[in-house]
Amino acid sequence: MKRTTTLLLSLLLLTTTLSAQPKVIAHRGYWRAEGSAQNSIKSFVAAAELGCWGSEFDVWLTADDQLILYHDDSLGGERVEKLNYTDLADYRLSNGEPLPLLVDFLRVAQQYPDIQLVFELKGHHNREREMLAVKLAVDMIEQMGLAHRTDYISFSHAACKEFIRLAPQNKVFYLRGELTAGQLLDEGFAGADYHGGIYVGNPKFVDELHKRGLEANIWTINDPSDQRRAIALGVDYITTDYPELLVK
């Protein structure tokens, strides 16, 4: 009887530990995989095949109203949001892929139902265009049946608020880092998606979020010792350029 009780307690402890493991988000996809590149369709597929919980990707709205995947705010010396997609037709990522249209990326995502989409809208200089980007993105994702698998994040507070308004069923996380747990709750956020330094500087922040029913994502954690520290903090998600380390 004593042995059985000990075994049951051990299994309970193991189950509790596993359930507390943070979810792994591949930053710009698993772009370090062979033949991959940041924000490429290949990086998303590689993240899915690696077994990541989610894959993060960056989105801009071009001047001719096309949603594309790209990180930097400029390309060839011009701001991405001022370029037409036709101007970018010949551009190739480092793995040879053309600059992905969001619609093409989402068609591939439909084929990998077990991975979450972590959609980051980049901060546009033109607020009206930024609001249009939010609407076009939400409409496209809903029409393609991917709303249940999509979280929205942004450094733009205004964009986040618009995501909350237009997609109240989705989780929206703020990236910039100045809002308190109480402010995030009051504004309808699902939680914080803050830089690692913010969590390290305030070790109680994760508890403050959890007490309010909010979640904590930490970015971008690459060093194994930093990954272990993030796990010890009790965060719900870890965004990393090295998802293979965390998956292991």
pLDDT in tens, 137-195: 999 999 999 999 999 999 999 999 999 999 999 999 999 999 999 999 999 999 999 99
Could you tell me the pLDDT band of residue 5, with boundaries at 50, 70 and 90?
Answer: very low
The average pLDDT across 43-48 equals: 98
Between CA 88 and CA 110 the distance in angstroms is 25
Between CA 194 and CA 199 the distance in angstroms is 8
Computed from CA positions of residues 77, 78, 80, 85, in that sequence, does the dihedral angle turn out positive or negative?
negative
Q: What is the pTM of this model?
A: 0.92
Helical packing angle, 102-109 and 127-143, nearest 10°? 30
* Mean of all residue pLDDT scores within the chain: 93
The average pLDDT across 218-223 equals: 98
Residues forming beta bridges with residue 173, ordered by sequence position: 153, 191
Neighbours of 201 (CB within 10 A): 9
- pLDDT score, position 6: 45
Residue 29, pLDDT > 50, answer yes
Residue 11, pLDDT > 60, answer no
Task: Tell me the CA end-to-end span of the chain in Å, nearest whole number.
Answer: 35
Q: Residue 212: what are its φ and ψ, rounded to 5°?
A: -100, 10
- pLDDT score, position 191: 98
> What are the boundaries of each domain within the chain?
24-247
Burial class for 162, CB neighbours closer than 10 Å (0-12, 13-18, 19+): buried
Of the candidate ranges 18-22, 55-59, 104-108, 113-117, the one whose mean pLDDT is the lowest: 18-22
Of the candidate ranges 11-20, 161-170, 205-214, the one whose mean pLDDT is the lowest: 11-20
- pLDDT score, position 201: 95
Tell me, rounded to whole angstroms, the distance of Cα 219 from its chain centroid.
9
- pLDDT score, position 89: 84
CB under 8 A, 24+ apart: contacts of 147-153: 149/109, 149/113, 149/115, 149/116, 149/117, 150/116, 150/117, 150/118, 150/119, 151/54, 151/116, 151/117, 151/118, 151/119, 151/190, 152/119, 152/120, 152/121, 153/56, 153/118, 153/119, 153/120, 153/121, 153/193
Could you tell me the pLDDT band of residue 12, with boundaries at 50, 70 and 90?
Answer: very low
The average pLDDT across 3-32 equals: 66
Q: What is the CATH number that goes with domain 24-247?
A: 3.20.20.190
